[in-house]
Amino acid sequence: MRSLTCFAAFWFLHGPASADILNYRGRLTVDGAPVQGAAQFRFALTASDGTALWSTGDVDLMVRSGVYDVRLGEPSSKSGQLPNGILQQAPKLRIWWNRPPRGWQQLGEDVPLAGAVSKPPAAEITGAEAKAILAELKELRELVHQQAKSADAPRQFITVPMGDSPALGQPGAPLVLMEFIDFQSGPCRIYHEDTYPDLVHGYVETGKLRIVSRHLPQGALSEPTARAAVCAYRQGKYWEARTKLFALGSAATPESIANFTREAGLDSGLFNACFSGREAADAVQSDVRTAAAAGIHHTPTFILGRRDGDNVTGILLSGIIPQGTWEAEIYKLLTAPAAQKK
């Protein structure tokens, strides 16, 4: 289950023809990570009992680093004109988001519009909520900073050893994608749910790409889930288990990991011996040292290139990569002249 959140600031304007106009700024995140790119929304104003008072059709908006703006009620817009006086009825705003192939999803509860221009009392936000908001803003700022650096920086080629890591795809595939992931990371989960299936279907299953997975734990709960992944790999079930590990999220407790072993069909005795022993911890630390030696400090980070003996040499990519970028980079490598393939 993916969590969708939408935080917003909004205000009212009244046009010369007495038509109400609602300017709305929202922030859309999935599991704490900002959505990026074109997205489709629907909006509705509802009464206190949930009855729809007014609604739009499909509205196409651009989401930049999780932030989007919409102007509802403008007569010339696709949203259509608001009925006169509707904003004086203290309606609520209901929002849906469409991201194929998952379809339409309502973004949380209806948002009360009454008193939206006044500052809420500080007591309405608890200390825990304030910390969560600050942590999310810090992660957003860091992600935007890293992606801005990546966009401005020249293409960087690095060489990383393959290691004893889970691999998916034909050993002789022309391209290799090495991923450094953290099961507790929101951006990594978005990659796993949105991008990874497309890469498998479009490139791994067609023999063009081999994916190699390595771990870069970033938080207190990250290291145990990375060890659990190593132990699943030791039983030949890494790729089936990783979806369940991403689903654990912040609920990665000893009890949930024990449940994970049963759900993943693992031998609990072998798993427990691996999980509590040095083998799994050493494997995770080996990945961490490899990442540090390559200058990799954030997740998700990828090296897309070609195998050269026991190494992978390729371009460095990081963050939430649009599908079009993946397709363009893979096409460049597949069609590169022989002299550039190293």
Domain boundaries 4-108, CATH class: mainly beta
Which overall architecture, per CATH, does domain 148-340 show? 3-Layer(aba) Sandwich (3.40)
Determine the Cα–Cα distance for residues 237 and 231; give it in Å rounded to an integer.
9
What is the pLDDT, as a whole number, of residue 315?
95
Fold match between domain 4-108 and domain 148-340: no
For the chain, the structural domain boundaries read 4-108, 148-340
- Transcribe 264-333 into DSSP letters: TT--HHHHHHHHHSHHHHHHHHHHHHHHHHTT--SSSEEEEEEEETTEEEEEEEESS--HHHHHHHHHHH
pLDDT at 86: 85
Spans of the chain below 70 pLDDT:
1-19, 31-32, 75-79, 100-101, 114-154, 249-252, 337-342
Residues 303, 162: contact at Cβ < 8 Å?
no
User: In sequence order, which residues have a C-beta less than 8 Å from that of residue 315 and are 6 or more positions away?
Assistant: 155, 156, 157, 303, 304, 305, 329
